[in-house]
Structure 1
Amino acid sequence: MTELPHTRSRTAHWLATAAALAAVLGATALLQPATATPASSSGDSSAPAPDPDQAHYPLDCGQGGSGTDVLDAASADFDGDGTDETVAVVRCRAHGGTPPSAVFVLARSADAGAPRVAATLVEQREGMSVDDLAVRGAAISATLLGYSSADVPRCCPDKRRKVKWEWREGKFVLRAAPVAGGGLSV
């Protein structure tokens, strides 16, 4: 039986993908947007966490986009101010295929309107899917799924990496697990 070209993985592909993933994850950790603080001025712990279905996400869903889907969400008081923030895995709604996901941290808006995006942990343009979202204390963990090349079918990611963001000194800091089998880490 003949193997398809996209099913063979070579060391060069793994190293190139690991380097690209390391660069993207490193840039994400270092280039937090100015709004990367979930701090709220109200300090009201009795109010519910922001509802991820009510937020407006900075996603490019194409012309006449069909909306967004919140795939997973969890809440915690990440910054210790007494109010919960919500972390949400979101992607453009699709009627077929698997569009890339993004991960946002939401905070309540000061005017009781729609929740605001306080931090972006994974951007849509990174082309990844996000799985296994979990929140423990002030830490967010997830598994990022990606592709080693454009030849890999979009249904079947062939790269996987566990990551964790911790709230430290006023921002989320990324900690990535080593790439399996490659010995490389971010």
Structure 2
Amino acid sequence: MQQSAVPELAHTHTRPIHWVATATAVAGVVALSSVVQPGSATAATGAQPKTVHVAVAPPGTNGVEFPLNCGPVKAVVAKQASGDLDGDGRPETVAVVHCDSAMGTPPDGVYVITRPSDGGTPRVVATLVKPQDRLTVTDFSLRARAVGATLLGYSSDAVPNCCPDLKTPAKWQWNGSAFIRSSPGAARGV
């Protein structure tokens, strides 16, 4: 076996001075890390925090007292749609309601329902179509804060209830104090 020409390396043997130097370096790092702390973490990207609007559920039709006299039969909600009609951030529900008749075409009523800000029971706040007007509502919609519908009606009392002979488009929009009806076109025969 050949002997190494280089004497054993002196730095491979630990001496007490090595341990003292290592302990001093570790203590310095620990002391420095307790003084220097990173800033608090945030998920923001530098932009101002956004206001979060809590979604409010639209009022339902269950338990609502509709101004509709159905006698011994019950009122039926045929169609409904929800949206913020008055711009207050809380949705309203518009319901097309008629009496549950076994025969014929019962006239529709169209009602706007809202829930009080305290979360109380939903209630009717506006009537857009009265059942006494003998109208049937078709093509019902709620878009851009407006209620739209096509109203089928009768030119005279002599026209049978089964067969409306007039068709009128209608639109209602909130003006700040009431729902205003506009008709995009005149009534026309069916």
TM-score range, shorter chain: 0.5 to 0.7
Aligned to 2:151: 144
Q: Is the 8 A contact 1:106 1:119 kept in 2?
A: yes
Matched, 1:174 2:181: yes
Note the residue ranges of structure 1 that are not aligned, 5 or more in a row.
Answer: 1-43
Partner Cα separation in structure 1 for residue 148 and residue 128 of structure 2? 11
Contact 1:45 1:83 in 2 (8 A): no
Q: CA deviation at 1:53?
A: 3.2
CA distance in 2, matches of 1:138, 1:180: 24
Secondary structure of residue in 2 paired with 1:125:
helix
Calculate percent identity across the aligned residue pairs. Answer: 44
Partner Cα distance (1:181, 1:133) in 2: 18
The corresponding residue for 1:54 is 63
| Residues 168 and 188, structure 2, Cα contact 8 Å, conserved in 1 | no
CA distance in 2, matches of 1:75, 1:94: 26
Match among 88, 99, 104 for residue 97 of structure 1: 104
Tell me the alpha carbon deviations over residues 51-105 of structure 1, each in whole angstroms, 9 at most, x when there is no partner: 123311010112xx21111011101111111110000100111111111100000
RMSD: 1.9
Give how far 1:180 is off: 4.8
Residue deviations 1:91-125, cap 9 Å, x none? Answer: 11111111110000000145644311011101111
Structure 1 residues 132 and 49: CA distance shift in structure 2, 3 A: same
Runs (5+) with no aligned partner, structure 2:
1-52
Counterpart for residue 83 of structure 1: 90
Q: Distance in 2 between matches of 1:144 and 1:45?
A: 36
Alignment TM-score, normalising by the size of structure 1:
0.68
**Kept in 2: contact 1:135–1:141 (CA 8 A):** yes
Q: Which has the higher contact order (CA 8 A, sep 6+)?
A: 1
Structure 2 length normalisation: TM-score? 0.66
Q: 1:176 to 1:68 in 2, by over 3 A?
A: same
Q: How many equivalent residue pairs? A: 137
